[in-house]
């Protein structure tokens, strides 16, 4: 028997999204990177010139914003397509501006409540790999299998910097490292659903692992589930 609901948590660029997508493909499950919902709200707030510090306005925005996450529709390296009102914002939510603002937005209790409700509805259908920062602790604490994926800040910044270079974005490694460290601090110290491993999560350190090694490890964990 394989797990029907898989929760994968961890800090930014730890490898959790890569692992989650691979597992979803391997198992023919739905893949949901829950961070895209928070990024979509952040992008929409910036596009509407809503101050990031205006918690009330951003919370109201999250409650009515029509966000859709669909299977990939373009052969440009994306793992899914994110839409707001039929507008494709898949790459727009991956800008440095959104990177800098998404942690404060994701810390707002009202925003988390609104988006958590959507996530739980999806998880209730089963056969899902859900990736985020509080999936195993808050969103679906009864998930069949929980993984907590980590890597050093330097390695994570290196990965994110390479991704941005491939996308043609001009940003230095030191800038990316600063954003990673700031985001870690915000995510782990917020009052609502701080970033932490669930007590029954399996810890997976990917600092020294290449993709093939990561995939082999998680496939072994899934196949050994009982």
What residue ranges define each of the domains in the chain, with the CATH number in brackets? 5-223 (3.40.50.300)
Give the CA dihedral 43, 165, 135, 93, nearest 10 degrees: 10
pTM: 0.79
DSSP character for 10?
-
Question: Would the pLDDT of 73 be above 80?
Answer: no
pLDDT score recorded for residue 79: 81
Question: Would the pLDDT of 226 be above 70?
Answer: no
- pLDDT single digits (tens) 30-55: 898 898 999 999 999 999 999 999 99
Q: Do 24 and 145 form a contact (C-beta atoms < 8 A)?
A: no
When computed from its CA atoms, the radius of gyration of the chain, rounded to whole angstroms, is 17
Return the percentage of the chain with pLDDT > 90, whole number. 66
Band (192; pLDDT cuts 50, 70, 90) = confident
Query: How buried is residue 195: exposed, middle or buried, by Cβ count under 10 Å (0-12/13-18/19+)?
Result: buried
Q: Do 151 and 205 form a contact (C-beta atoms < 8 A)?
A: yes
Closest CA to 183 of 101, 111, 62, 93: 101
Mean pLDDT over 93-107 rounds to: 92
Question: Would the pLDDT of 109 be above 80?
Answer: yes
Q: Do 217 and 204 form a contact (C-beta atoms < 8 A)?
A: yes
């Amino acid at each position: 028997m394989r797990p029907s609901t898989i929760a994968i948590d961890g800090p930014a660029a730890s490898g959790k999204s890569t692992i989650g997508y691979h597992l979803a493909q391997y198992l023919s499950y739905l893949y949901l990177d829950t961070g895209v919902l928070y990024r979509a709200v952040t992008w929409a707030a910036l596009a509407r010139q809503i101050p990031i510090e205006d918690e009330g306005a951003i919370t109201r925005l999250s409650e009515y914003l029509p966000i859709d996450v669909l299977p990939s529709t373009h052969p440009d390296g994306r793992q899914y397509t994110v839409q707001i009102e039929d507008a494709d914002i898949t790459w727009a939510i991956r800008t440095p501006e959104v990177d800098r603002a998404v942690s404060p937005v994701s810390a707002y209790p009202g925003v988390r409540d609104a988006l958590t409700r959507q996530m739980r509805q999806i998880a209730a259908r089963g056969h899902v790999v859900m990736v985020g920062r509080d999936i195993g602790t808050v969103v679906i604490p009864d998930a069949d299998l929980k993984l907590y994926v980590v890597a050093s800040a330097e390695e994570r910044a290196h990965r994110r910097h390479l991704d941005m270079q491939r996308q043609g974005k001009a940003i230095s490694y030191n800038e990316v490292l600063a954003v990673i460290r700031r985001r870690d601090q915000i995510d782990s110290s917020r009052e609502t659903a701080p970033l932490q491993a669930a007590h029954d999560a399996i810890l997976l350190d990917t600092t020294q692992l290449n993709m093939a090694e990561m995939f082999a490890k998680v496939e072994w964990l899934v196949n050994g589930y009982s």
